[in-house]
C-alpha cells in the first residue's frame, strides 16, 4: 500500500489518499489544540498515544459487533481507514455531568445521569460548533431524519460497549464525541477517532482526570494522563 497525496489536514490528524480506492492513510499529529484552536501546543508523543488508544478502542468495538472506518494500525502513529464522506455533526454522548453540559444546565459536575443523553453539534469552526436540534439538522441538510436516528442508536451502542470496557479498566467514561461518515453505498459508518482528545475519562476511585481537560485547564501533564489510559487499556507504552 502506497501513501499518496495529502487530502486533508485537521487539528490532530492528516489524511492521505492511497493507491487503493476508498482507503485512506491517517497520521496522528503531536499538536494539541483546545477552545476551537485558541490554545495550541506541540506535545511530543501525543500522536502516538492517540493512535494506539484509538486503534485499541475501534478494535474493541469491532469485537462487540460495531463497525467503524478503522481497517488497521500501520505504525505507532498511523492507521488505514475506509474513506467516507463525513457528516458535519459532532455526536456527543454523556453519562456524567461535565464541560458544556455543566455550564448550560448548572447541574453539578460529577452528577451521574440516570440515562445517557445524546447531543448534536454542527461541525463549523466559524460558528464555534453550536449545539443544534433535529429541526436545525433538517434545515441545514446536515443529515436525513433516518440517518439522525441511526447516529443516535449507534452512538448509544458505542457508549454501552465503551462504558463497560473503561469501567473494567478502572475508568469512568464521563462523555465523548463521535463523528460518522457515509460510505460509497450511503451507509452510516463510525469514523474519525476515539481517544482522550475526544472522551472525558476519570479515575473511578479518585475522579482524577486523565483526558484533554488536563491540557484545556492546565491541570498537569497531558502525556502522563494519556499514558495512564493506554496502560489501563492494556496497550504497549513506547519510550
Residues lying near ligand C5P in the complex (CB under 6 A) are found at 90, 92, 98-101, 129, 175-177, 198-200, 212
> 93, 155 in Cβ contact below 8 A?
yes
Could you give the CA distance from residue 108 to residue 98 in angstroms, rounded to a whole number? 8
Query: 107: exposed, middle or buried (C-beta count within 10 Å: 0-12, 13-18, 19+)?
Result: middle
Could you give the CA distance from residue 40 to residue 216 in angstroms, rounded to a whole number? 10
Residues contacting 158, CB < 8 A, separation 6+:
61, 66, 93, 178, 190, 194
> 226, 200 in Cβ contact below 8 A?
no
Could you give the CA distance from residue 25 to residue 7 in angstroms, rounded to a whole number? 10
Per-position DSSP letters for 40-103, written without gaps between them: EEE-TTHHHHHHHHHHHHHHHHHHTT--BSEEEE-SSSEEEEE--EE-SEEEEEEEE--HHHHH
> 7, 18 in Cβ contact below 8 A?
no
Instruction: Specify the residue, 77 or 198, whose C-beta has the smaller distance to ligand C5P.
Output: 198
Instruction: Specify the residue, 17 or 166, whose C-beta has the smaller distance to ligand C5P.
Output: 166
Q: Which residue do the cell numbers 487503493 mark?
A: 20
> 198, 176 in Cβ contact below 8 A?
yes
Amino acid at each position: 500500500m502506497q501513501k499518496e497525496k495529502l487530502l486533508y489536514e485537521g487539528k490532530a490528524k492528516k489524511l492521505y489518499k492511497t493507491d487503493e480506492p476508498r482507503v485512506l492513510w491517517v497520521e496522528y499529529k503531536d499538536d494539541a489544540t483546545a477552545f476551537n484552536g485558541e490554545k495550541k501546543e506541540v506535545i511530543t508523543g501525543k500522536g502516538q498515544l492517540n493512535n494506539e488508544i484509538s486503534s485499541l478502542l475501534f478494535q474493541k468495538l469491532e469485537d462487540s459487533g460495531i463497525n467503524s472506518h478503522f481497517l488497521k494500525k500501520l505504525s505507532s502513529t498511523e492507521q488505514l481507514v475506509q474513506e467516507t464522506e463525513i457528516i458535519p455533526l459532532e455526536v456527543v454522548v454523556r453519562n456524567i455531568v461535565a464541560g458544556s453540559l455543566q455550564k448550560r444546565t448548572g447541574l453539578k459536575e460529577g452528577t451521574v445521569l440516570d440515562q445517557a443523553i445524546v447531543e448534536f453539534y454542527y461541525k463549523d469552526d466559524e460558528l464555534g460548533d453550536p449545539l443544534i436540534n433535529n429541526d436545525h439538522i433538517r434545515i441545514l441538510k446536515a443529515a436525513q431524519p433516518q440517518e439522525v436516528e441511526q447516529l443516535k442508536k449507534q452512538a448509544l451502542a458505542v457508549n454501552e460497549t465503551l462504558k463497560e470496557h473503561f469501567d473494567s479498566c478502572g475508568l469512568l467514561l464521563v462523555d465523548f464525541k463521535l463523528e460518522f461518515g457515509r460510505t460509497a453505498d450511503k451507509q452510516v459508518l463510525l469514523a474519525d477517532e476515539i481517544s482522550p482528545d475526544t472522551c472525558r475519562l476519570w479515575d473511578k476511585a479518585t475522579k482524577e482526570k486523565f483526558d484533554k481537560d488536563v491540557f484545556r485547564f492546565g491541570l498537569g501533564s497531558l502525556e502522563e494522563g494519556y499514558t495512564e489510559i493506554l496502560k489501563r487499556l492494556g496497550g504497549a507504552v513506547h519510550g
